[in-house]
Amino acid sequence: MSFTLEGRTGPWEIVVGLEVHAQVTSRAKLFSGAATAFGAEPNSQVSFVDAGFPGMLPVINRECVAQAVRTGLGLKAQINLWSRFDRKNYFYADLPQGYQISQYAHPIVGEGAIEIELADGSTKTVGITRLHLEQDAGKSLHDQHPSKSYIDLNRSGVALMEIVSEPDMRSPEEAGAYLTKLRQILRYLGTCDGNMDEGSMRADVNVSVRRAGEGYRTRCEVKNVNSIRFVMQAVEAEARRQIEVWEEGGTVEQETRLFDTARGITRSMRSKEDAHDYRYFPDPDLPPLVIEQGWVEGLKASLPELPDERRARYVAMGLSPYDAHVLTLEKETAAYFETVARGRDAKVAANWVMGDLFAAINRTRTSIAEPPVKAEYLGVLLDLMQDGTLSGKLAKEVFEAMVETGRSPGAIVEERGLRQVTDAGAIERIVAQVLEANLDKVAEYKSGKEKLFGFFVGQTMKAMQGKGNPALVNEAVKKLLG
């Protein structure tokens, strides 16, 4: 099933590649010891290196390199033991050095791949071209003063991983699924927090269109899109614009564009610069970056379980592929599920997490990171069902009380006297009372109206305030009617 956009003159295929800038999770910057915490007072996390003072020398942060290698391993990519930093020269007020230290011809990570999951349950592999390390620039603030611009250098020098994909995506949905999966992998690895609203992940979206069977046509790059939804919208808006240009007999020019989120259209920003415009050359202040295979192996051995592996493990535990997918989307959800499922029926645990817990989170506007019911408590609740203390119906009641009070299921069961009655003798006595009170119905039942069986069960449960063990109640009714 392939996705096309219908133009005036027939269907068009969309071609999308993404360049994602992901901020490396690290305490210090790529080439300085300044801190990287989000939301700090402007210009409070700036070293002389970050401010471009003359004579200051960059020194590489080993942890940032390790994070890039971990990410490369998570993307099943080639790790280059020899890579090099280049200067990308351009002038901007928030770039005090007058150049960005980046990796151009020799990135630290080469080709890899990501498997994306689509809504119809199918999967697709998207190629990774490369991942390189580079510095972030500072931030210009134009809206703080009527006639002045301010500059905040806190971001200046922060380590970024630029992750470039192959032009393998063919629809807005695939672009969204790619970004979702990439963010998921980075979060599992702990190499980027993936908070797009804080600018930790930004996507440059390369879009072109073509007729089926054609080679690539000219692409345009939509810069700095900061949410998955906007990426999907930008892909469609830019593709529609290009289709119109081609269909009117025009030519799409290679350029950099911006996505206007309010109007849902892309606008021209500047004609596309070529690499030679940046006058890239090896940074003379930095030797080539050489890492050891043994160090890479050590990082590989300590990688956490990744989303694809975890999903496969959940399926092996008996979950459906869909449940496994949902439970592994966020690693916090997976951790919660595992606590509930440990030593218990995985399917039952999954049903409670995806059903009652998710509903309670929505209702109480909480999150899986700060859940309305502790995972340990939900596990205990399942045990109380398993050992017959609670029926399914009573368990739902206890769960709601847990959401309300935050107390343990044991405390709630005791406090509210919700313990299920499993004493067969006691149940039979109540069934006998029910039959005694409904002699007319007993006679009807005996003359063939077998549907009344459910009535007797219902009356017994009602008399027991829902606390009778359903199997035992059924058994007792059958026995006393027989």
Tell the smallest beta-carbon distance from residue 30 to Mn ion (Å). Answer: 13
Tell the smallest beta-carbon distance from residue 362 to Mn ion (Å). Answer: 38
Residue with tokens 């829902």: 466
Closest CA to 140 of 182, 172, 92: 92
What DSSP assignment string belongs to 431-476? Answer: HHHHHHHTHHHHHHHHTT-GGGHHHHHHHHHHHTTT-B-HHHHHHH
What are the E-state strand segments in 197-288?
201-210, 220-225, 255-260, 265-271, 281-282
Closest CA to 470 of 412, 399, 420: 420
Measured from the CB atom, is 111 or 162 closer to Mn ion? 162
Measured from the CB atom, is 102 or 171 closer to Mn ion? 102
Tell the smallest beta-carbon distance from residue 278 to Mn ion (Å). Answer: 11
Contact criterion met (CB below 8 Å) for 58 and 32:
yes
State how beta strands 201-210 and 10-23 pair. Answer: antiparallel
Measured from the CB atom, is 162 or 397 closer to Mn ion? 162
Tell the smallest beta-carbon distance from residue 286 to Mn ion (Å). Answer: 17
Tell the smallest beta-carbon distance from residue 88 to Mn ion (Å). Answer: 8
Tell the smallest beta-carbon distance from residue 21 to Mn ion (Å). Answer: 6
Measured from the CB atom, is 162 or 338 closer to Mn ion? 162
Measured from the CB atom, is 107 or 307 closer to Mn ion? 107
Contacts of 473 (CB under 8 A, 6+ apart): 427, 431, 457, 460, 461, 464
Q: Is 122 helix (H, G, I), strand (E, B) or coil?
A: coil
Indicate the residue whose CB is closest to Mn ion: 162
Q: What's the gap between Cα 73 and its chain centre? A: 19
Tell the smallest beta-carbon distance from residue 131 to Mn ion (Å). Answer: 11
Measured from the CB atom, is 163 or 394 closer to Mn ion? 163
- DSSP H helices, 353-452, are 358-364, 375-386, 392-405, 409-416, 424-437, 439-446
Tell the smallest beta-carbon distance from residue 257 to Mn ion (Å). Answer: 17
Closest CA to 5 of 119, 170, 145, 132: 170
Tell the smallest beta-carbon distance from residue 201 to Mn ion (Å). Answer: 13
Measured from the CB atom, is 204 or 428 closer to Mn ion? 204
Measured from the CB atom, is 63 or 162 closer to Mn ion? 162
Contact criterion met (CB below 8 Å) for 421 and 469:
yes
Measured from the CB atom, is 21 or 467 closer to Mn ion? 21
Tell the smallest beta-carbon distance from residue 160 to Mn ion (Å). Answer: 7
Closest CA to 410 of 376, 384, 388, 387: 384
Contacts of 186 (CB under 8 A, 6+ apart): 22, 71, 74, 192, 194, 201
Number of other residues whose CB lies within 10 A of the CB of residue 52: 16
Residue 22 pairs in a beta bridge with: 161, 201
Measured from the CB atom, is 162 or 193 closer to Mn ion? 162
Q: Which residues bind Mn ion (CB under 5 A)?
A: 162
Q: Is 109 helix (H, G, I), strand (E, B) or coil?
A: strand
- How far lies 405's CA from each of 358, 372, 377, 412, in Å? 17, 9, 12, 9
Tell the smallest beta-carbon distance from residue 101 to Mn ion (Å). Answer: 11
Total residue count of the chain as it appears in this document? 482
- How far lies 206's CA from each of 222, 318, 408, in Å? 6, 40, 52
Measured from the CB atom, is 32 or 103 closer to Mn ion? 103
CA distance 13 to 170: 7
Measured from the CB atom, is 107 or 194 closer to Mn ion? 107
